[in-house]
Amino acid sequence: MKSGHGNTGCALCCAIDFGTSNSAVARSISDPANPEITRIQFAPLEHGATSMPTAVFYNADDGSRSFGRAAIVAYVDGYDGRLMRSIKSILGSDLMDEVTELGNGLQIRYIDVVVAYLRHIRQVAQLHWQRPIDRVVIGRPVFFVDDDPRRDAKAQQTLLAAARAAGMSSVEFQFEPIAAALDYESRLQASDGERLVMVADIGGGTSDFSVVRASAAAHGRTDRRADILANHGLHIAGTDFDRAVNLAKIMPTLGMNGGGPGGLPVPSKIYFDLATWHLINTTYVPNRIIELRMMRNMYDDSLAHQRLMRVLEQHRGHDLAARAESAKIEVSESGGATIELGFVEPGLELSFVEREQQVALQAEVDRIVETARQTVKMAQLAHDRVDAIYFTGGSTGLDFLATQLAAAFPRAAAVRGDRFASVVSGLAITAERRFAAQEDA
């Protein structure tokens, strides 16, 4: 998937994993004594960490920007401005061409948010390696947009334009699960022979699957198209899990699913928008707040309506979304969580347990498992022919999900990669091979 060329000079070729939740930059270096052996170098993007939240905070007071964890801290500390997360999830949508309010009369186009973030991580990596970066392989999901080839192509073109605007003149793309398969393959020994591997790459925005023939003998080949038996994906993953937790546990305390006079349900759209990252800011529009304030008599539970209005008037929707995400992670790690909502109402807190999480996420998990099954069928294989499932992506830390995926392929060995580094490692291998092949041509 070639998308540009440029004068490379002494520039590095690198990989960028531009994720919905986290991003990373890496490069692959061959061992001079044994070119078949490569090692991966990661650029420390923030405080020594090799992955950084895909987040940008725009300060409405002075127009400054902060990125990654610093962006989230600025938001949590209460600075006036706008926190932008999950920006990858709107690639291909009409929103990319629109402007959004930052506060104090400031506006920015969504595409410019993507450009700013890519430019920032490129500059940080260049500073670390002390060399320019203009040749990159960027990972992409199997589908940016489900069941819409036109919008899917538009999403890649938008990301290409953003990368070029950020200073990268030669840009190519690789499917993220294929990159993860290359990382898995680097673990194999010659004695392992060939294996049929299903790569399950489940991150913040998409769940992607690939069935690949993997072997140590094939690892050094540049063209692996014949070994890719099937690709499939679904635009459901971590941010959708966060939203489901938010809707199931937090939004009912603000009146969702409640009733009004005559048994009519309260309006539901506000709750879905308030639980969706890229729509949260639309709930703060003054006219919408006035309209919802006037709906007080439509709520039998006046306290729930008061809580809703407090969240909207104080612009705390992003805070609720962050607490839903934290609760999801805590339940996955320890089986239970307490969601503190003292800013909504003094002393308000919610207990959230594993069984509730499973009920909240079951519909999404069922669709993800079915997509995995479809991928194996697309490869014209029976489910018992899969030798291994290679788990990568942040959301594979959700044991409930990984267990159900593994149960769908009981003969396959479950292999866990680095949730945040497997994809960028494979992309770095891709970058080295593709750009080396261009230079040799």
pLDDT tens for each residue of 127-151 = 999 999 999 999 998 888 888 899 9
Q: What is the pLDDT of residue 12?
A: 86
CB contact at 8 A, 190 and 23: no
Give the pLDDT score at 396: 94
Q: Is residue 194 part of a domain?
A: no
Using CB atoms within 10 Å of the CB of residue 111, give its burial: 0 to 12 exposed, 13 to 18 middle, 19+ buried: buried
- Inform me whether the pLDDT recorded for 158 exceeds 60: yes
Average pLDDT, stretch 233-255? Answer: 96
- Domain assignment of residue 371, yes or no: no
For residues 314 and 335, what is the distance between their CA atoms, to the nearest angstrom?
31
Number of other CB atoms surrounding residue 151 within 10 Å: 16
- Residue (of 179, 143, 184, 160) closest to 371 by Cα position: 143
Strand ranges in 110-221 using DSSP code E only, listed in sequence order: 133-140, 170-175, 195-202, 207-214
Question: Which residue range(s) make up the domain with 136?
Answer: 12-176+423-440
Tell me how far CA of residue 227 lies from CA of 195, 212, 219, 433, in angstroms.
11, 6, 11, 16
Mean pLDDT of the chain: 90
Q: Which residues, 6+ apart, have CB-to-CB distance to 135 below 8 Å?
A: 6, 8, 11, 12, 13, 14, 168, 169, 170, 431, 435
Mean pLDDT is highest, among 9-18, 74-83, 297-306, 428-437, for 297-306
* Assigned domain for 165 exists: yes
Within-domain flag for 318: no
Q: Is 275 contained in some domain?
A: no
What was the pLDDT predicted at 7? 41
Distance CA 229, CA 375 (A): 9
Token pair for residue 119?
């430019």
pLDDT at 39 (0 to 100):
86
Per-residue pLDDT reduced to its tens digit, 55-67:
999 998 888 999 9
- Domain-located, residue 2: no
Averaged pLDDT, 196-207: 93
Q: Residue 105: what pLDDT?
A: 77
Query: What is d(CA 406, CA 383) in angstroms, rounded to the nearest whole number?
Result: 11
Mean pLDDT calculated for residue range 295-322:
94
Q: How confident is the model at residue 430 (pLDDT cuts 50, 70, 90)?
A: very high
In a domain, 33, yes or no: yes
Domain count, the chain: 1
Q: How confident is the model at residue 331 (pLDDT cuts 50, 70, 90)?
A: very high
pTM: 0.83
Confidence of residue 8 (pLDDT cuts 50, 70, 90): very low
The CATH number of the domain where 110 resides is what? 3.30.420.40
Comparing 20-29, 122-131, 139-148, 414-423, which segment has the lowest mean pLDDT?
Answer: 139-148
Radius of gyration of the chain (CA): 23
Q: Tell me, what's the pLDDT at 2? A: 53
Give CA separation, 248 vs 85, 208, 274, in Å. 21, 25, 13
Domain-embedded: residue 267: no
DSSP assigned state of 218:
T
Q: Give tens-digit pLDDT for 252-262.
A: 999 999 988 87
| 21-30, 241-250, 345-354: range with lowest mean pLDDT | 21-30
